[in-house]
């Protein structure tokens, strides 16, 4: 199954001026007393539609900080970031919320499902904020749960699901709005090896179907599953061609 993409807010297609994903000279500093601490020292990164990128780096190197900026949860102190043809700088909170809803599918290390909602309602959540209503919303959420093989567990609460199942619900939730970009921070961090491998296989399939994925990890074995790997060390990015199972 392939996901049709909604027309973007502004025209975009690789090569027609505005790139699909481009970061140029992204810096991020946090105020620390009277001074400020720079965590990202000018990150530049370009991505084609359909790419599968892993971001590797030691703890404290700035991976999560970068992910927050990519995920539009935060804005860079300076630099230029274009996602799906839209410039992210100087957007206000509402615009950023809209962008997160439409363009980004987040996958967190611990799934982060709402414990009081069943699997179906958890998957519906982003659609609620997208203004999708009624049967259409339920249908789309059900389709997506079927996609990750959880039709039977639709009405289970997170507490009644295994870690791997929870992570699959989280993946369904990330995919349900047909985002431009799947953004995963340590998606297998809380899983055992076998379940982790299953999730990685699912990622592989999603990528084969044309989804663009950025995965953050500090596990080189996991990173190797992506077609391309970049390293973040002390807030600097260094490119390195990876991908052993490049087909």
Partner 1 sequence: MPNPFKALRASLSMLMENVRMSVTNIAQNRLRSALTVLGILIGVTAVIALITTVSAVSNSITSSFASMGAGTLNLSVTGSDLKTGLSAEDLEALASLDCVDGVTPSVTLRARVSRGGEYETNISVAGRNPYWFTVNEDAVTRGRALNVLDMEGMNFVCLIDQDMIDTFFYGEDPLSKTLYLSGLSFTVAGTYDADSDSSVTGMMSGTPDILIPYTTALKLNSTNEVTSLTLYLAAGWDSASATEVLESTLDQMFSYEEDCYEIVTMDSLESTMESMTSMMAALLGGIASIALLVGGIGIMNMMLTSVTERTTEIGLKKALGAKPRQIQAQFLIESFILSVSGGIIGTLIGIAVSFGLCRAMGAGFTVSKGAIALGVGFSAAVGIIFGWAPARKASRLNPIDALRRM
Which stretches of the chain bind partner 1, using CB under 8 A? 68, 71, 73-74, 93-94, 97-98, 100-102, 106, 108-110, 112, 114, 116-117, 125-126, 128-131, 133-134, 173, 177
CB 202 within 8 A of CB 145: no
Q: Which of 64, 122, 195, 207 binds ligand ATP (CB under 6 A)?
A: 64
Longest pairwise C-alpha distance within the chain: 56
Q: Can residue 217 be called a binding residue for ligand ATP (CB under 6 A)? A: no
Chain positions 3 to 32 lying near ligand ATP, rule: CB under 6 A, are 30
Looking at 6-14, 61-69, 151-159, 166-174, which segment touches ligand ATP (CB under 6 A)? 61-69
Structure tokens at 169: 């619900």
Between 54 and 86, CB nearer to ligand ATP? 54
Q: Can residue 65 be called a binding residue for Mg ion (CB under 5 A)? A: no
Q: How many CA atoms lie within 13 A of 119 on its CB side?
A: 28
Q: Is 104 helix (H, G, I), strand (E, B) or coil?
A: strand
Structure tokens at 18: 């505005």
Work out whether the CA dihedral 217, 221, 225, 231 comes out positive or negative. positive
E-strand ranges in the chain read 21-32, 35-47, 52-56, 78-83, 86-87, 104-107, 181-185, 212-217, 228-233, 236-240
User: How near is the Cβ of 245 to ligand ATP at its closest, in Å?
Assistant: 24
User: How near is the Cβ of 20 to partner 1 at its closest, in Å?
Assistant: 20
Q: Which of 18, 64, 122, 188 binds Mg ion (CB under 5 A)?
A: 64
User: How near is the Cβ of 122 to Mg ion at its closest, in Å?
Assistant: 23
Q: Which residues bind ligand ATP (CB under 6 A)?
A: 30, 37, 39, 57, 59-65, 218
């Amino acid at each position: 199954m392939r996901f049709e993409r909604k027309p973007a807010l502004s025209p975009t297609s690789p090569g027609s001026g505005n790139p699909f994903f481009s970061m140029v000279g992204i810096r991020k500093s946090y105020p620390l007393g009277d001074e400020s601490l720079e965590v990202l020292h000018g990150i530049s990164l370009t991505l084609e539609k359909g790419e599968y990128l892993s971001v590797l780096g030691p703890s404290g190197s700035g991976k999560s900080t970068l992910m927050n900026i990519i995920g539009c949860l935060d804005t860079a102190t300076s630099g230029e970031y274009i996602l799906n043809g839209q410039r992210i700088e100087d957007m206000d909170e509402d615009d950023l919320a809209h962008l997160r809803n439409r363009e980004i599918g987040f996958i967190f290390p611990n799934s982060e499902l709402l414990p009081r909602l069943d699997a179906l309602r958890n998957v519906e959540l982003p659609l609620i904020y997208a203004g999708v209503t009624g049967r259409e919303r339920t249908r789309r959420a059900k389709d997506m749960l079927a996609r990750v093989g959880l039709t039977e567990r639709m009405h289970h609460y997170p507490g009644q699901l295994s870690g791997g199942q929870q992570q699959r619900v989280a993946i369904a939730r990330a995919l349900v709005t047909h985002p431009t970009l799947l953004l995963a921070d340590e998606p297998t961090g809380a899983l055992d090896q076998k379940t982790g491998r299953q999730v990685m296989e699912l990622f592989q399939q999603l990528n084969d179907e044309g989804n663009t994925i950025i995965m953050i990890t500090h596990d080189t074995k996991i990173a190797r599953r992506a077609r391309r790997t970049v390293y973040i060390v002390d807030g600097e990015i260094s490119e390195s061609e990876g991908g052993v199972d490049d087909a």
